[in-house]
Chain A
Amino acid sequence: MTAESHALTTTAEHSAVAGLAHDSRGGISNPVLGMILFLASEVMFFAGLFAAYFNVRSLAPEWPPTQPQDFTHVLNIFPLVGPATVLLVLSSFTCQFAVWAIRRGDRTAFIRNIAVTVILGATFLVMQLTDYTLLFNEGLTLDSGTFGSTYYTLTGFHGAHVLAGVIMLSVVLYRGLAGQFSARHHDAVEATSLYWHFVDIVWIALFSTLYLLPGSHGGA
């Protein structure tokens, strides 16, 4: 079936019944089911990283460490990390707008919002890479004690998840442009949006933990 004929077919399937996470037989659709199970495992994956960070932090005499090198400036949210956070949060909104658009069969709004989400996600990655470059030049590396290793491990794994999300969203955008989604058939969109919201929530937790949690000096 060509993309055009598929688009015509799916247009005829436009229905007021939104394609939510549940299919017509009452069960949850396979892509959404698989994504929720995957996200449950991802929660525990990031929990392990957070647990390691909290453990290291609670045992450190001061945080962020100032000896042998002062890394306090690493936790400045300007000019890169704060704006990048705003962009990522905004991308979650545009992603959800896309989901709502395809649920009501508005493909134009769907494609527009997914495209904006991809751009915002890619911009976040570029800003994070720029931040990494600046930090490397200032001497913060994976070898910079527990602070450096936990910082890069937490933000690095999250960045890898954002990259995966951008790739998934790009596939959704490509399929959307090919007319493969309709109000009734868009499970991949729902599953991808769940993943993207998860990545966003993890970043909010990460940002709050790394940048906003007050540091300690002269004792744990």
Chain B
Amino acid sequence: MHPLRHPRNALIVGLLFVVIAAIYWVAPHLGDGFVDVAGTTLLGALGIAMGLMAYVLIAGSPRE
């Protein structure tokens, strides 16, 4: 199995969106912007959903 196809990498895909959510939440605090809690929530949850989808793609494929 190619190292990139390890199911563990699904976690990285999910974390990518969680990091984007964190940046989206922190950035307005640095300036004087509006903190969009709804957008942050959706981005964070998107990380979980994308992680699950990546897991399906990686782990669901035949191993040969």
Contacts and interface: CB of A to CB of B under 8 A. Distances in A.
Interface of A: 21-22, 25-28, 33, 36-37, 39-41, 43-44, 46-48, 50-52, 54-55, 57-58
Interface string B9-50: 000000000000000000000000001011111101110111
A41 B49 contact: yes
Contacts of A54: 37-38, 40-41
12 contacts: A21-B59, A36-B52, A40-B50, A40-B56, A44-B42, A44-B49, A47-B41, A47-B44, A50-B45, A51-B45, A54-B37, A55-B38
Contact of A58 (B35, B48, B52): B35
A36 B63 contact: no
Given A43-B49, A58-B35, 13 more contacts: A22-B59, A26-B61, A26-B63, A26-B64, A36-B52, A37-B53, A40-B50, A43-B48, A44-B49, A47-B46, A51-B41, A54-B37, A55-B37
Nearest to A21: B59
B56 A47 contact: no
Tell me if B's interface is mostly helix, strand, loop or mixed. helix
Given A26-B64, A27-B62, A39 B52 contact: yes
B35 A28 contact: no
A192 to B, nearest CB: 17
Contact of A28 (B40, B48, B56): B56
Q: Chain B: interface residue count, which band? A: 20 to 34
A180 B41 CA distance: 41
Nearest to A39: B52
A21 to B, nearest CB: 7
Contacts of B49: 40-41, 43-44, 47
Contacts of A40: 48-50, 52-53, 56
B3 interface: no
A46 B42 CA distance: 9
B36 to A, nearest CB: 8
A170 B41 CA distance: 33
Nearest to A55: B38
Contacts of B39: 51
B61 A27 contact: yes
B41 A28 contact: no
A33 B52 CA distance: 10
A164 B6 CA distance: 33
A33 B61 CA distance: 11
A57 B41 CA distance: 13
